[in-house]
Amino acid sequence: MRKLSFWILGCIISLSVNAQNPKKTTAKSSAIPRPKLVVGIVVDQMRYDYLYRYYDQYVEGGFKRMMNEGFNCRNNHYGYALTVTAAGHSSIYTGSVPAINGIVGNEWYDRFSEKGVYCTEDSTVKTVGSTNVSVGKMSPKNLLTSTVTDQLRIATNFRSKTIGVAIKDRGSILPAGHTANAAYWFDSSTGNWVTSTFYMNDLPQWAKDYNAKKMPSEYLRKGWKLLLPADQYTQSTPDDVAWEGKLPGNAKPVFPYELAGLAGDAFGVVTNTPWGNTITKEMAIEAVKGENLGKGKETDFLAISFSTPDKIGHSVGPNSVEQQDDYLRLDREFAELFTFLDGWVGKGEYTVFLTADHGVVDVPGFAKEHKLPSGLVSRTNVLKALNKALEENYGKNDFVKATDNNQLYLNHALLKEKKITIAEMTEVVREALLPLPGIADVIDLTDMGKAPLNTYQLELYKNNVNAKRSGDIQIVTQPGWFYGGSTGTSHGTPYNYDTQVPFVIFGWGINKGETVRRTSVSDIAPTVSAMLHILPPSGNIGTAVEEALKK
């Protein structure tokens, strides 16, 4: 009995001591777990099939590492019609669509100022890091919603750092968001990485030091040679075909390439080769080290966009030896980046996602050779038929104020004066253009309920229309057709080759696996937001891919 009393007393004392002296692990576990760093990777013009087309030639540490260690959404699509670079980057990081975030294209016409607008233009800011005064007049002011990078900054009371890096200004500025610590892009006239006074008044010393290395000049001297023996490029057409464009200074689109700059654009040719990916990776790593990303108490965010695949793809297409070599080299760049992050942040301490801003259509020359439906729409013939129809029906007058994104911006004042409705004019334009090769339809963007489109495409075009920035009439091309020349290819349509892009996420907080259920590019931002336990962006319409996230 006495022993039992001592035992009870001991338990009471033990409970009392534990209550007054809680273990340190209790305080530690109260902090919400988050990765030290999030790295968002956008590959400009990465069609979904590139993940698998060159899979056997990828190294273990690049694309394969992401796919084999992470979660792969294999049926991931854009939810709007006009799939171009600025709209893509905006949709990825806002979880939104152009109808909401306002980035309806790379350019659009502003009815109120009556002039064209470039997606990131900002005349109120100045270039930082270059003598080129025009290259830095950029900011995210035209983006109408917040980004996941903004939301991270807000959630941590701006203690988190967010940095954007891309050759293209829009590929850096739009992902980095409104509250970014910095966004950097490439000035092809001087070979410098630059920014604008929207972010800072002087480049940080680490950026100056990297610019001082003059790496673009070094890569110019090296030229572009194949990574592997020529007979191993079995996923591509022959190296010399009629539908491929040529790099400046080269008589044919054939390896090896000599690289020579042009007057006023001395280093632009570098960005049209895999060296563009190299300098992007190098600048990104310098940003991580220079800004000490991933080393603080809060999660930091690095947004990288690799612009070079788009430049190469537009010139020579997705079935070229050049694009295969580009992706094999990009794969090695990723492996080097991840190896660096393993050492800098710690393996398993950071999260990476991979996606693309749009896909690409096969070059019409290639498609026709293999009896696939394809062709080129003649912009000259479209305008000729349009002008003829308008003049015959309404007389000679300036009914069209501007054309952009295959849209007609009509002169509303003139239509009101002439008592012509947009619906009436749409029918006139439709009747005139439908007989032309490659034209699928013409629709009234101001009254989408009456558009003669299938349900699927109607939704995509609705998601593209912003009342203040979109045109009145949309000209829709047939699958495989686009406006262009005899060489190279393009994108910007609602068809699968343009809408289906990768979404692979791996690292901290991510399950290993895959899904073939349809996901949306708008799901990326809310997925990252859920992982970070932060509010999704203000215009978000996506849903987190919950099976990718560890509980």
Q: Residues near 349 by Cβ (< 8 Å), separated by ≥ 6?
A: 35, 36, 37, 294, 508
Residues annotated as part of the active site: 85
How far is residue 388's CA from residue 386's CA, in Å, rounded to a whole number?
A: 5
b vs e for 414-442, b when ≥16 Cβ sit within 10 Å of the residue's Cβ? ebeeeebebeebbebbbebbeeeebbbbb
How far is residue 489's CA from residue 361's CA, in Å, rounded to a whole number?
A: 7
Q: What does residue 204 show for φ and ψ, rounded to 5 degrees?
A: -65, 160
Helix-helix angle 85-94:148-155, to 10 degrees: 30
Token pair in block for residue 13: 């004392």
Specify the amino acid at residue 115. K
Helix-helix angle 169-176:85-94, to 10 degrees: 20
Q: Which residues pair with 215 in a beta bridge?
A: none
Token pair in block for residue 349: 């301490």
Is residue 445 within 8 A of residue 466, CB to CB? The reply is no
Is residue 233 within 8 A of residue 319, CB to CB? The reply is no
Where does 415-502 show beta strands of DSSP type E? Answer: 439-444, 473-477, 481-483
Q: Counting beta carbons within 10 angstroms of the beta carbon of residue 131, is it exposed (0 to 12), middle (13 to 18) or buried (19 or more)?
A: exposed
